[in-house]
Amino acid sequence: MKRIFTRISVLAAFCLLTINVAFAQNITIKGKVTDGGDKTSLPGVTIVIKGAQGGTQTDTDGNYSISAPADATLVFNFIGYTAQEQPIANRTTINVALASSTQQLEQVVVVGYGTQRKIDVTGSVANVKGEDISKQISTNPVGALQGKVAGVSITNTGTPGGSPQITIRGSGTIYGKAGPLYVVDGVWYDDINFLNPADIASISILKDASSQSIYGIRAANGVVLVTTNKGKKGDAVINYNGTVGIQTVTNMVEMANATEYATAVNEAYALQNPPVAPLFANTNLGEGTNWYDVALRQALITNHQLSISGGTEKSTYNLSLGYLNQDGIVKNNNYTRYTARLSNDFQVFEPLKIGYNVTATSSKSKDPANGIFRALYAASPVVPIFNADGSYGDPNAFNLGNGSNMNPQATLDFFNQQTTNYKITGNVFAELKFLKNFTFRTSLGGDFGQQEVRGYIPVYKVSNTQQNTNSKLDIDRIENRNWIIENTLTYDKKWADHSLTLLVGQTAQRNKMYTLNADALNVPFNSESDLYLALGDAASRSIIDKGELSTFSSYFARANYSYKNRYLLNASIRRDGASQFFGSDNVWGNFPSIGAGWVISNEEFMKDQKIFSNLKLRGSWGKVGNAGVPFNPSTQTVDQTAGLIAFFGGIPYTGASIRSLVPPTLFWERSAGTDVGLEMGFFKNKLSVELDYYTRKTEQAIFDIPVLGSLGTVNSSIIANQADIQNSGFEFSATWADKADNGFSYSISGNVGINNNKVLNVTSGANPIYKGGAGLTSGYLSTRTVNNRPIGEFFGYQVEGVFQTTDEAAAWPGFKRGDFKYADINGDGVIDLKDRVVLGNPNPKFTYGLNTNFAYKSFDLTLDIQGVADVDVYNANLSSRFGNENFTKDFINNRWTGAGTSNSYPSADLAGGLNNAPNSFYVEKGDYIRLRNIQLGYTLPQAISSKMKMQRLRVFLNAQNAVNIFGYKGFSPEVGGTPTNAGIDTNVYPLFATYNFGVNVTF
């Protein structure tokens, strides 16, 4: 990898040296900006040097002053007016009159394989500008989208280097990849955590099937198009963006202290049948150990990005370098990432343009200890961190030894795992224009990536239940080698009142993955860089390697037609073949779409009305597919299992079991969707409103359903096209943008998404699919998926109260005083599995966001609010108990301690009977509202920054997640998971706020 990075560096240096970059001498330009209609002055107009990121604004009288190269071009921008460019051409005075515009209508958005004017789009496409992303100090570009787009739900993991989970218009996939397709400059990815957010120019989210279908094979869960920054004609522009900040845990969960814990444990022992002697003779033990204070910290985060861009008439370039260092809020956790990106475009001659971009990423993570948050939650406060002799505090010394009660400090100290990632990605392209209306484009892209997880466990002993007798080294390595070739031919013709764009294309892809899993015992530890499997015991070494290969072939076409900018028609078709389905009759799939639009405001009968400045009705229908299923899903697999033995001729052999049954034929998982939208503009488009109603049906969704062992299988399931899944909903977004005469300008945007999820036509009929066992004890399953209900609903017993006396509990076998009292749903006098009911829904019904920007002279303020409503979370932290885990302060303060003390919280014996079975007590509302981002900036006046040899200098203060309002009793209600295991909190990474100071400099 070092050689690769060296070559990239040499290439970057060569490209920059071969480009004529001349820093022309600056001159001062002054002038006045007015309204082209009524000639009034315009305060707050933004003036920037083309190709640069800095600039100035007009004062209250519309006057401005800016320093710029004599041969540069000034760009004048103002809300509600058409942008205007003015070449300086050695002039020192430039007065400008701006014309009012329908800016929102002329806005260009990125769509599949091209761009369109916003007015011409017939599908549902949301666009987020790079400047809005950069205002969110996020380590992953997806995280910055939270709350900005209606119908898009994003769950952040919190783990440094982790990728947020994004869901577009509800969950439609269960067996396979449920995330969207990411397309970065024409190359397809499953994730974009290798991108530096500062390198992004814009992100478009394709939300409806009509806009997605041009990517048919992978678009069933939405498409996210990412356009990165390009160089622009002009002198070299150097930008530096840097931040430094502190991350601190918010909404800390308070745990019981030593005295409270000892008292509760003694209570639980007294409730046993027969009662058990108290564990603690003396419960007055003071505060004890606060394990969260031991392991958590205020963590430092620094982020730096440097870019240089520019160009000539013949070529443009952009080079950026990035560095991120993020400490985790749990000690010993750290993530470091280096990014480098280079792009060049060359106009070889008038009709031919070629170019390339390449991105290299290197990251290294010191991973958080496995299960550390569970260990911190469960650890007893009576156990000291260290004993007086320096040894670790031992839970067994207090008779607390079990699988859940350990010394978290030892967990931190003896956990040694590092994850390294290397990734190089990019593409080269050529674009040829010919015969006036034709453009042919060919592109070759791909990525090479390698991830290695290296874990080492030394020999140690804290207790009989927390020890390791043989050192062990584990190495897991994954290599990806993917490529994609795309060829498109575009015909673009405008005549009279007509506009027609035709596109045909072809795509070929290959994705190859190689995995290696190896381990060895008794590997000596010299240093982290001297850990080798060869040093371990030869007899203990184990190596397993395997590979996966998938290929795709695609053909597609699209037609866009517009008549008089009033009547719009869009139609596309894509035909995809995927190797995952070789061996079946369904290798190929067809994905059509059609969309239509009517710009009512452009009709003659609308000319004299004063209400709408824009009114557009659109509707669309389309089909998309999902190839993100496991490799060879239609191939029958057999696993050898040591627990199974077969005898042949009296000789025992390792047995085998069929783990998954598959039918002779698996069909494509397809989604068919319709969307009806209304776009409105008022007051010269100062107010813009967009409404959408959609419905999407995933047809022949691939499920794995458990089957009976009598069929000759062990713990088996059948994989097949088992059901349909429907998501339907409504989206609303509105933006008000305006200015005042004193130089004050602002924009306020709000959005709401409403989604209803329902499973249809499950093949198994009335037989539900039970999942959600992670983190639960005694084999309990907490979710159910069944006909006409949402995916992965929480399912269990309904709590009616708490048994107050022994006599009251005696009528119900298996229960005692202090236990939960469950509802006898079927009235048979027995509490069993037949009494379970729906407890909650982990699929959020409402998502919303409020995003604001304010500017006054040199000051700017950004304020973003985001939230989720009508969603439930299963608090498995409380229910996952083996007997002596700690309790939350909330539970301690509200628990049942005798008749009449509580009818909602049970006794301290949570592990007894059915107390920790899935029930309504553990299901809590997951609604929340948070101050997602607030940023206050100040831009130095142009006259001062020029004296400092800078075009622009801006400093800012930023806070993320500073205010969080929710009723959930865990660290955060933001809990992800796969569709049938979503919303189950098994100690998520705690929510934290980040406070940053930053600077933006342009030279």
Q: Is 89 exposed, middle or buried (0-12, 13-18, 19+ CB in 10 A)?
A: exposed
pLDDT over 90 at 365, yes or no: yes
pLDDT in tens, 74-114: 999 876 677 888 989 888 999 998 876 544 456 788 898 98
Query: Which tokens sit at 94?
Result: 């430039």
The amino acid present at 348, given as its one-letter code, is V
Assigned token pair, 512: 């190859």
Measure the N-to-C terminal CA separation of the chain; round to a whole number of Å. 33
CB of 217 closer than 8 Å to CB of 578: yes
Range scoring the smallest mean pLDDT among 48-57, 223-232, 742-751: 48-57
pLDDT tens digit sequence for 755-775: 999 998 776 555 678 888 755
What mean pLDDT comes out for the span 448-456?
A: 95
- Look at the alpha carbons of 655, 656, 659, 662 in this order and tell me if their dihedral is positive or negative: negative
Tokens 């156990």 correspond to what residue?
Answer: 383
| Residue boundaries of the structural domains of the chain | 24-98, 107-233
Please provide the size of the chain in residues. Answer: 1003
Q: Is the pLDDT of residue 401 over 80?
A: no
Q: Which helix (H) or strand (E) holds 134?
A: helix 130-134
Q: Centre a 10 Å sphere on the Cβ of residue 355 and count the other Cβ atoms it contains.
A: 21
What residues contact 886, with CB distance under 8 A and at least 6 apart? 255, 256, 261, 377, 378, 379, 380, 381
CA 690 – CA 597 distance, rounded (Å): 14
In this prediction, residue 166 carries a pLDDT of 93
**Structure confidence by residue, pLDDT tens digits, 913-969:** 899 899 999 999 999 999 999 999 999 987 788 788 888 899 999 999 999 999 999
Closest by Cα among 738, 730, 728 to 688: 738
Nearest to 782 by CA among 845, 816, 833: 833
Q: What average pLDDT does range 894-903 have in this prediction?
A: 96
Spatial separation of the C-alpha atoms in residues 675 and 661, rounded to whole Å = 37
Cα 264 versus chain centre, distance: 40
- Is 12's pLDDT higher than 50? no
Question: How confident is the model at residue 701, as a pLDDT?
Answer: 81
**In this predicted structure, what is the pLDDT of residue 17?**
38
Summarised one tens digit per residue, pLDDT across range 540-550 is 889 999 998 98
Give the pLDDT confidence score for residue 9 in this predicted structure.
Answer: 43
Q: What is the pTM of this model?
A: 0.86
Cβ atoms within 10 Å, residue 602? 17
Comparing 273 with 709, the larger pLDDT belongs to 273
Residue 905 pLDDT exceeds 50: yes
**Alpha-carbon distance 570 to 415, whole Å?**
56
Q: Of 964, 849, 845, which Cα lies nearest the Cα of 144? A: 849
Taking residue 826's Cβ as centre, other Cβ atoms within 10 Å add up to 10
User: Which residues touch 755 (CB under 8 Å, ≥6 apart)?
Assistant: 151, 169, 170, 727, 728, 729, 843, 844, 845, 847
CA nearest to 876, candidates 830, 842, 837: 842
> Quick one: pLDDT at residue 13?
40
The pLDDT tens digits of the residues spanning 163-212 come to 889 999 998 888 777 889 999 998 999 999 899 999 999 999 999 999 99
Handedness of CA 199, 204, 209, 213 (dihedral sign): negative
Which is more confident, 360 or 67?
360
Whether 37 shows a pLDDT value over 80: the answer reads no
pLDDT digits (tens, 9 = 90+) for 977-998: 888 889 999 888 898 999 999 9
Cα gap 768→764, rounded to integer Å:
7
Contact criterion met (CB below 8 Å) for 255 and 292? yes
Cα–Cα distance list, 239 to 946, 977, 1000 (Å)? 15, 39, 7
| Distance in angstroms (rounded) separating the CA atoms of residues 767 and 523 | 50
Give me 366's structure tokens: 């010191």
Mean pLDDT rounded to a whole number for the chain: 87
Residue for token pair 């991105």? 359
Q: Verify cis geometry, omega within 30 degrees of 0, for the bond prior to 141.
A: no
CA distance 89 to 583: 67
Using pLDDT thresholds of 50, 70 and 90, give the confidence band for residue 14: very low
HSE at residue 549, side-chain half, CA atoms within 13 A, is: 1
How far apart are alpha carbons 691 and 544 in whole angstroms?
53
Note the CATH number of domain 24-98.
Answer: 2.60.40.1120
Give the fold, CATH level 3, of 107-233. Answer: Ferric Hydroxamate Uptake Protein; Chain A, domain 1 (2.170.130)
Residue 298 has pLDDT above 90, yes or no: yes
What are the structure tokens assigned to 367, written together? 């991973």
What would the DSSP string read from start to end of 664-733? S----EEEEEEEEEEEEEETTTTEEEEEEEEEEEEEEEEEEEE--GGGS-SS-EEEEEEEEEEEEEEEEE
Beta strand extents in 742-782 (DSSP E only): 744-760, 769-771
**Residue 440: predicted pLDDT:** 97
pLDDT of residue 1: 41
Per-residue model confidence as pLDDT tens digits over 497-520? 999 999 999 999 999 999 999 999
Closest by CA position to 626, among listed 169, 215, 191, 126: 215
**DSSP class per residue in 486-525:** EEEEEEEEEETTEEEEEEEEEEEEEEEEEEEEEEEES---
